Amino acid sequence: MKIINRYLVKEFFPKFLTSLLVLTFILLMDQLFDLADLLLNKGAGLFNTTKLLLYILPSLFMFTVPMSVLSATVLLFSRMNEDNEITAIRTAGISTVGIMKPVLLIGFLISFIMTYFNSTVAPVSNYKFKMLYYQILYKNPVLQFSEKNFIQMQNYDVYIRKITDDNILKGVLIYKWEEGLPTITTAETAEMAIAEGKGILFRLNNGKIFQENYKKPGDFNLCSFSNNEMILQLNENTEFLNRTEGSARQLPSKVLLSKIKTIPENIKNFYLTEYHLRFALGWAGFLFIFVAAPVSMLAKTRAKSFGIAVMIGMIFIYYILLAAGTTAGERNFLNPLVAVWIPNFTVGITGIILVFRMAKK
């Protein structure tokens, strides 16, 4: 039995790690394009871009680790089924449930680790990503802007029609909101730089300034200029991020639980849903084994193809249910604990039925 257990463990981990690499890369592809743009076109630097990449990974692992446990289980037992290894092991007097035990133990340990990981490492990484990204944007203000989009920064709205390769801005429109009254500045071209201790400095060329008369609402003062300088007064550093906790996904579970006790009732469910979601995702991989192993071992023909089809279907159904449950929990349609655990309950009950069915055979 020990030899078989070592064999199963030896076969499981390469499949798990390969699945984790492939699935994480698939989910990461969208962010890779943004990171490549930061590195190649906007001068964020290799070191900072690499750090951003590392900070993204934990939030992806929350989803890809359970899927990798599922994938490794399907690939392992379907391959053993096709090679008649399951039959050979059962001939030696070991039940199919006994064959599952080492994989279940591995899945339990992975899920136990992921529960801690989802509660601490992932939210801290999300927070560090936010901090670093803001720091990069502050050091190079051009990174904050994109063509033909309004960018909101505190009490400013900025529109830029075109950004040239040498960072010359064309067709600039800046709204400054102060006490509900706008000051509108336009310029044909502009350059940007950091004004130390003040904010972002715009050197504007050939433009106009429209300013509403606060004494006579509806009347505007108009002046034209050939050259002008304008400073967007922004926070100098990222200390304000320490004071604004931001998204619930950036709070470790202990902090999140403490915050839940103090926040208003109308937003409490959003934080409760995020809190319980971390545990539900953590234990998803362990529960997947109860379905994946019996399905792969019970398949009579083309076990691997059948197992992969079941795996894809399980992932699709599970995350559809998870998305629906998360929405229901956040909007107070269901208790957040029940809402986010519905997919796990579904998988678990299905798995128990399949295991009993397999045990009878």
The reported pTM is 0.78
At residue 160, φ and ψ (nearest 5 deg) are: -130, 125
- Give the residue from 259, 190, 249, 275 showing the smallest Cα distance to 225: 190
Backbone dihedral region for residue 183 (phi beyond 0: left; psi -120 to 50: alpha; all else: beta): beta
One digit per residue, pLDDT tens: the chain, 361 residues? 688 889 999 999 999 999 999 999 999 988 888 888 777 766 677 888 899 999 999 999 999 999 999 999 999 999 888 888 888 888 878 888 888 999 999 999 999 999 999 999 999 999 888 888 877 766 665 566 777 787 777 677 888 888 887 778 899 998 887 766 778 899 999 988 777 666 778 889 999 988 876 666 667 778 888 998 888 776 555 555 555 555 788 889 998 888 888 887 778 888 999 999 999 999 999 999 999 999 888 877 676 788 788 889 999 999 999 999 999 998 889 999 999 999 999 999 999 999 888 877 6
Cα 78 from Cα 72, distance rounded (Å): 10
Q: Which residue has the tokens 């915050």?
A: 259
Q: How far, rounded to the nearest angstrom, does the alpha carbon of residue 42 sit from its chain's CA centroid?
A: 23
Which pLDDT score is estimated for 217? 65
Which pLDDT score is estimated for 117? 97
In the sheet with 150-153, reading across from the earlier edge strand, the strands are: 150-153, 156-163, 169-178, 181-195, 199-212, 220-233
Cα 276 from Cα 339, distance rounded (Å): 9
Q: Write a three-state SS string for 151-198.
A: EEECCEEEEEEEECCCCCEEEEEEEEEECCEEEEEEEEEEEEEEECCC
Which pLDDT score is estimated for 66? 96
